[in-house]
Structures are given as C-alpha cells and as structure tokens.
C-alpha cells in the first residue's frame, strides 16, 4: 500500500495488514493484527479531537505501513527458533518410514496425546459447571459479573491450550491474549460483544470436544506404548528364560510358534515395527489436531 494513500480507518489498516500476511500461519496473523489494533486504537484515543484518518496518517509515518509491518513480523518469526525444525518451503527428500524415530514432532504429539485426557476432563468440567452456574444466576445481579468471568475464562483457557499445542505439536498459535474491551464500555456491551464473537463459541466448542478427543488420544497412546513394549519385553524374557508368556488360546498353531525361539524373535520384530507405526500415528494425530486448534482457537 502506498504511504501517499494511507488507510483512513483502523479496519482498513487491519484488512491491508492481513492481506500482506497472506500465507503466514494464522497464529502469527492473529498476533500481528492484535498488536496493530491495540497500538492504533491507543493513538486514536490519545487524540480525541482529531479525525481518525488524520491520526492514522500521522501514526503510519512512525509505526509503518501494513506492508512494512508484515515484513517485520515475517522476519521476526523466521529468526525465532523453537523445539521443532522449521518447515522447509522447498520439497526435500522424505526421511522414510524409519526416519520418524528422530522426529521430535512425533514425540511431542505422543506426549500431547497422554496429556489430553487430563486437560480434556478439566476443560469439560470447567465449561459445563461454570457455564451452568453463570446461566442459572443471570436472573440475579450477581449473574452478570459471573457471566463476564465465565466468558473471560474461556478466552484464558483457549490461550493456555494454544500454548500447549504450540509447545508440543509445533503449530504456531497466538502468543498474546486478545485485546480486552474498551474501559468505557458497559457491562452489557461487553457481554454482547463476547456473545457475538464467533470465536467465543468456537473456543467453547473446542473445550467441550477435548473430552472425547482426549479419551481417544489417551487410549491410542497407552495401547500404542504398552503393546510393542509388551511384545519386545515378553519376547526377550522368553528367549532368556526359555518360557514364553505369549498366549493364543484360540489359535494353537500360533501359540506353538510363539513358544519357539524363531517365533519369539518374530514377535520382537513386530514389537519394534509397532514402535515406528505408533510414532507415525502420533505424528498424524498431532497434525490433524493442530489444524483443529487453528480452526477453532485462532481469532482473525
């Protein structure tokens, strides 16, 4: 955007900034928009006697055009290193099936799957219990601040979950809380704004979904960890002691095979193969859940 024709409203500036950041992660765009809106609104509030267009024209000279701000955020994001390797823009050689053993994203996703049961239970309990109390007390005066507190807690929990998702799944999520309502806004206006924000409802849906998803992830992770370890450990014990504990009561032929040394070696090989399969499964779950988190938690 040419600085000679700067945007005349904050909304126009934010739209131009979002367009300049097209192709970046939603989390980065969300942070950039929130920072810019807070700065611009603060400048406008400090000069109430000037038109919004004049204030923006003056601020852009020091703050920067949308294109300049977008480039700064892209450069800053590229310079920040995290626990996971940056995604290469160019295609690179695939590490292969066994290369997942050295991929930190697989282990982060597996840890997230184990943690998700605890967070899912907490999110669901908090949302249902606190939400029910807030709604039931709306007929009293105390219900209004309770509702505001509940809606605020949804945003805080969503932000906390976003930090967990970024830390364990490597998905760029917003690193700052959404800007609060103006100080002079009434309580009813704040509630109306929160209820009219689609991200309030999508965040609420995400927190409720985390219970069934958390149960599913936890079961997959536990079975995926214990089954290959049991096969490997049981086979090693059988080879050392000569007594196999692998039983197939409904298949005598298989039961006989896994009581022999070749059968135990085969069971051990299956257990090792399952480790790689589980890591690939965890990585896939992490990728899919990261997309769900971006869709439901990131405000643009």
Q: How many helices (H) and strands (E) does the chain have?
A: 10, 0
- Do 19 and 149 fall into the same domain? no
* 92 falls within a domain: no
Residue 248's pLDDT band (cuts 50, 70, 90):
low
Ramachandran sector of residue 102 (left: φ over 0; alpha: ψ -120 to 50; beta: rest): alpha
Rounded to 5°, the CA angle 120-121-125 comes to 115
Task: Specify whether the CB–CB gap between 125 and 185 falls below 8 A.
Answer: no
* 84 falls within a domain: no
Final residue of a domain: which of 28, 44, 79? Answer: 79
- pTM metric for this prediction: 0.81
pLDDT tens sequence across 149-175: 898 899 899 999 999 999 999 999 988
Interatomic CA distance for residues 29 and 26, integer angstroms: 5
Checking if the pLDDT of 247 tops 70, the result is no
Checking if the pLDDT of 1 tops 60, the result is no
- Do 67 and 104 fall into the same domain? no
- Do 281 and 174 fall into the same domain? yes
Interatomic CA distance for residues 227 and 201, integer angstroms: 39
| The two structure tokens encoding residue 213 | 């998803």
- Do 262 and 201 fall into the same domain? yes
- Do 72 and 106 fall into the same domain? no
Segment 251-269 shows an average pLDDT of 70
- Do 170 and 285 fall into the same domain? yes
40: nearest Cα among 28, 26, 54, 30? 54
Task: Specify whether the CB–CB gap between 151 and 191 falls below 8 A.
Answer: yes
* 274 falls within a domain: yes
Q: Which residue has the higher pLDDT, 273 or 243?
A: 273
- Do 55 and 128 fall into the same domain? no
pLDDT at 89: 46
pLDDT at 245: 60
| Domain that residue 73 falls in | 10-79
Interatomic CA distance for residues 187 and 191, integer angstroms: 6
* 227 falls within a domain: yes
- Do 69 and 125 fall into the same domain? no
Task: Specify whether the CB–CB gap between 298 and 18 falls below 8 A.
Answer: no
- Do 146 and 250 fall into the same domain? yes
pLDDT at 99: 85
| The two structure tokens encoding residue 11 | 């909304």
Rounded to 5°, the CA angle 140-145-146 comes to 80
- Do 151 and 232 fall into the same domain? yes
pLDDT tens sequence across 81-135: 666 665 544 445 566 788 889 889 999 999 999 999 999 999 999 999 999 998 8
Q: Which residue has the higher pLDDT, 282 or 102?
A: 282
């Amino acid at each position: 955007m040419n600085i000679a024709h700067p945007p005349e409203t904050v909304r126009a500036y934010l739209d131009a900034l979002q367009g300049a950041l097209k192709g970046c992660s939603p989390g980065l765009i969300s942070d950039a928009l929130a920072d810019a809106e807070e700065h611009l609104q603060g400048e406008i509030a400090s000069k109430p006697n000037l038109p919004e267009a004049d204030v923006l024209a003056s601020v852009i000279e020091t703050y920067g055009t949308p294109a300049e701000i977008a480039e700064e955020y892209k450069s800053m994001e590229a310079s920040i290193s995290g626990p996971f390797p940056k995604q290469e823009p160019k295609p690179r050689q695939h590490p292969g099936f066994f290369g997942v053993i050295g991929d930190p994203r697989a282990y982060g996703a597996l840890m997230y799957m184990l943690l998700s049961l605890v967070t899912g239970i907490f999110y669901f309990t908090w949302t249902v219990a606190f939400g029910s109390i807030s709604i039931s007390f709306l007929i009293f005066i105390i219900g209004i601040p309770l509702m505001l507190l509940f809606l605020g807690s949804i945003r805080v929990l969503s932000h906390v979950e976003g930090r967990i998702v970024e830390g364990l799944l490597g998905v760029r999520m917003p690193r700052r809380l959404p800007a609060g309502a103006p100080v002079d806004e009434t309580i009813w206006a704040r509630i109306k704004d929160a209820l009219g924000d689609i991200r309030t409802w999508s965040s609420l849906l995400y927190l409720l979904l985390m219970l069934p998803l958390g149960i599913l992830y936890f079961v997959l992770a536990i079975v995926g960890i214990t089954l290959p370890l049991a096969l490997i450990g049981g086979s090693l014990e059988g080879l050392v002691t000569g007594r196999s504990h692998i039983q197939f009561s409904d298949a005598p032929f298989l039961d006989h095979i896994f009581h022999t040394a070749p059968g135990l070696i085969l069971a051990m090989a299956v257990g090792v193969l399952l480790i790689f399969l589980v890591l690939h499964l965890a990585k896939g779950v992490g990728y899919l859940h990261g997309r769900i988190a971006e869709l439901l938690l990131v405000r643009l």
